[in-house]
Amino acid sequence: MNELLEKLKNISTLEAVKIEESDKQYIALKNLYLKIKNKDFYLSLIIANSIICYQLSGSWENYWEEFSNYFSESEIKSVGEVTKKLSIFIKNSKWNKRFIQTKISRLEKLKPFLEIFIWNEYFYYKNMENLQTNLAKIMNQKIWDKTIVFGVKMFSYWSRNYFNKLIYFPENIPIPIDSRLTKIYEKFNDDMSLSIQDFYKNLSLKLNIPPLHLDAVLWVNYEELINS
């Protein structure tokens, strides 16, 4: 871990936010925000897409660009249309081809929450841990599961634009573990008794960067870190 800390020691939370906003996923959703015909259901659409964003057939960047391009031409007028049009989208998606019926079932399970969420978006932006807890409850998952934490992350990204305000991620929300973070953990972890979540929790504390902000830092620097 000391080697990894040395490589990342000059990055602050504010710099991590700047890195996030240069991420292709962030740029894709910024373009969607600028083009979408009805912004009322924009954040609901982001949450719904996040909980079906797993086992992709390509990179996450490609998938979110595809998503952005598709929905920039689509008008959504209700929560029902959010889940319905997403179901149609993934049936024809180039980058989200696996477990289609399971993902459509997840969208149906999410729908009752979206009916409440649509009226409480700013509350959830100010209270992201509540969003994490309530998403996990409706989806019958653990609060640290990847799709739950990722949903909070993507929602927060776009609340910055929607509400024109930056609220930093809470320190208690863990980093969403994926294959890239697993490889970084395997390369830099020198304490085999330390779990992957505890490894990133410790890294976050030592760098003084909340785990969800640290996520983008590691993604953007992944190739350099792994090949160093």
CATH of the domain at 196: 1.10.1670.10
Is the C-alpha dihedral spanning 30, 90, 140, 138 positive or negative?
A: positive
Same domain, 86 and 30: yes
Q: Is residue 93 part of a domain?
A: yes
**Is the pLDDT higher at 193 or at 134?**
134
Does the pLDDT at position 25 exceed 90?
A: no
Q: Is residue 54 part of a domain?
A: yes
What is d(CA 66, CA 45) in angstroms, rounded to the nearest whole number? 14
Same domain, 153 and 177: no
Does the pLDDT at position 136 exceed 90?
A: yes
What is d(CA 53, CA 212) in angstroms, rounded to the nearest whole number? 17
Same domain, 155 and 184: no
Same domain, 205 and 138: no
Total domains in the chain come to 2
Among residues 114, 131, 162, the one where a domain terminates is: 162
Rounded (5°) CA angle 88-74-33: 120
Q: Is residue 167 part of a domain?
A: no
Place 228 in a pLDDT band, splitting at 50, 70 and 90.
Answer: confident
Q: What percent of the chain is predicted at pLDDT more than 70? A: 100
**Is the pLDDT higher at 83 or at 158?**
83
pLDDT in tens, 119-128: 999 999 999 9
Q: Is residue 207 part of a domain?
A: yes
Averaged pLDDT for residues 132-154: 95
The model's pTM is: 0.92
Does the pLDDT at position 59 exceed 90?
A: no
Place 61 in a pLDDT band, splitting at 50, 70 and 90.
Answer: confident
Residues noted as catalytic: 146, 178
Q: Is residue 127 part of a domain?
A: yes
What is d(CA 201, CA 173) in angstroms, rounded to the nearest whole number? 10
pLDDT of residue 64: 94
Domain extent for 127: 21-162
Averaged pLDDT for residues 106-114: 97
What is d(CA 225, CA 183) in angstroms, rounded to the nearest whole number? 10
What residue type is assigned to position 49 of the chain? N
Same domain, 103 and 215: no
Same domain, 11 and 25: no
Averaged pLDDT for residues 185-195: 91
Contact 45, 117 (CB under 8 A): no
pLDDT of residue 220: 84
Same domain, 12 and 25: no
Would you state the structure tokens that stand for residue 48, as one six-digit string? Answer: 């719904």
Among residues 116, 139, 162, the one where a domain terminates is: 162
Same domain, 136 and 31: yes
Reduced to 3 states (helix: H, G, I; strand: E, B; else coil), residue 189 is coil
